[in-house]
């Protein structure tokens, strides 16, 4: 039998445990019925199904069912072989990772209208900050000594993140055939821009050397948050989401090289 630690990791999440239980008792179910039973958003359900892809298959009617490995996972759950600690506690590292990726916040975007104002506010804060500090924003980068007007700098910051949203929509479809759930993705990306939105305010008080180090840390954090946004907004596993975010940042760098902004 496979290493049980992988099973325990998958079953740590209550939504995935419920999916296994539903498929174990009903044998097969359609996506719409599964979504209603879980009470989760489209992207979140796709994400958990993607995480369980090695244990689930689809028939010709596109209904989900457990494969042989999935039945083994269901037996572990049914027999009570899952450690009780998975039900009531998490390790410090797991909790820390959840907050680094802002997973508890992104999870609330199942109903995106609740957090859409906050996402828009973060974008506006970032735009105002970059304009106030006189920084040209280029998605994951800033450049000092801007020649643009105050309002142009605000618009530039916001349009950068709208461009990332449009890129993610196209790339997720071309690579993973994921469509829809646009508002949740936009909300998640707005929230994911938080590190880049905060940086201009810190830049005003930091020396040039220190601000470069802070910028590097915030770029890495932003990359992680954008990846998490793709997970929740498009329902893909983190390894697939990172492909999208890395492609975005590589294109960002390539365009800046072409424009002569990077030496």
Residues 110 and 213 in one domain: yes
Residues 27 and 110 in one domain: no
Give the confidence band of 86 by pLDDT, cuts at 50, 70, 90: very low
| Residue 27's CATH number | 1.10.10.10
Q: Is residue 17 one of the residues assigned to a domain?
A: yes
Residue pair 185/118 in contact (Cβ under 8 Å)? The answer is no
Residues 48, 16: Cα–Cα separation, whole Å: 6
Residues 175, 246: Cα–Cα separation, whole Å: 14
For 99-138, how does the pLDDT look when each residue is reduced to its tens digit (9 = 90+)? 777 878 887 887 889 899 999 999 999 999 999 999 999 9
Residues 19, 23: Cα–Cα separation, whole Å: 6
Q: Is residue 263 one of the residues assigned to a domain?
A: no
- Domain hosting residue 206, numbered range: 98-258
Q: Enumerate the β-bridge partners of residue 65.
A: 28, 57
CB neighbour class for 69 (10 Å; exposed up to 12, middle 13-18, buried from 19): middle
**Three-state secondary-structure class, residue 163:** helix
Residue pair 44/110 in contact (Cβ under 8 Å)? The answer is yes
Expressed in percent and rounded to 5, the helix, strand and coil fractions of the chain are 70, 5, 25
Q: Where are the beta strands (DSSP E) in 88-207?
A: 136-137, 142-143
Residues 76 and 121 in one domain: no
Residues 49, 70: Cα–Cα separation, whole Å: 12
Question: How many domains, in total, are found in the chain?
Answer: 2
Residue 45's Cβ-side half-sphere holds a number of Cα atoms within 13 Å equal to 16
84 has pLDDT over 50: no
C-alpha dihedral, 173 to 111 to 27 to 175, nearest 10°? 10
For 186-214, how does the pLDDT look when each residue is reduced to its tens digit (9 = 90+)? 999 999 999 999 999 999 999 989 999 99
Residues 134 and 230 in one domain: yes
Supply the pTM of this predicted model: 0.75
């Amino acid at each position: 039998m496979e290493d049980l630690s992988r099973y325990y990791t998958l079953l740590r999440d209550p939504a995935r445990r419920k999916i296994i239980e539903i498929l174990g008792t009903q044998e097969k179910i359609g996506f719409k019925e599964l979504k209603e039973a879980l009470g989760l958003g489209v992207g979140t359900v796709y994400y958990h199904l993607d995480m369980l892809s090695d244990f689930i298959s689809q028939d010709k009617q596109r209904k989900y069912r457990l494969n042989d490995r999935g039945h083994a996972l269901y037996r572990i759950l049914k027999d009570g072989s899952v450690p009780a600690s998975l039900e009531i506690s998490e390790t410090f590292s797991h909790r820390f990772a959840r907050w680094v990726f802002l997973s508890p916040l992104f999870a609330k975007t199942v109903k995106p209208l609740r957090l859409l104002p906050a996402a828009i506010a973060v974008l506006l804060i970032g735009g105002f900050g970059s304009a106030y500090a006189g920084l040209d924003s280029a998605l994951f980068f800033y450049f000092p000594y801007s020649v643009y007007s105050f309002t142009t700098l605000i618009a530039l910051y916001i349009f950068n993140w709208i461009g990332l949203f449009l890129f993610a929509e196209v790339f997720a479809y071309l690579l993973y055939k994921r469509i829809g759930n646009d508002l949740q993705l936009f909300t998640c990306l707005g929230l994911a821009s938080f590190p880049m939105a905060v940086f201009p305010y810190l830049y005003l008080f930091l020396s040039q050397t220190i601000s470069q180090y802070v910028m590097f840390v915030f770029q890495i954090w932003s990359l992680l948050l954008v990846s998490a946004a793709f997970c929740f907004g498009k329902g893909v596993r983190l390894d697939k989401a990172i492909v999208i975010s890395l492609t975005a940042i590589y294109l960002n760098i390539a365009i800046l090289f072409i424009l002569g902004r990077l030496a």
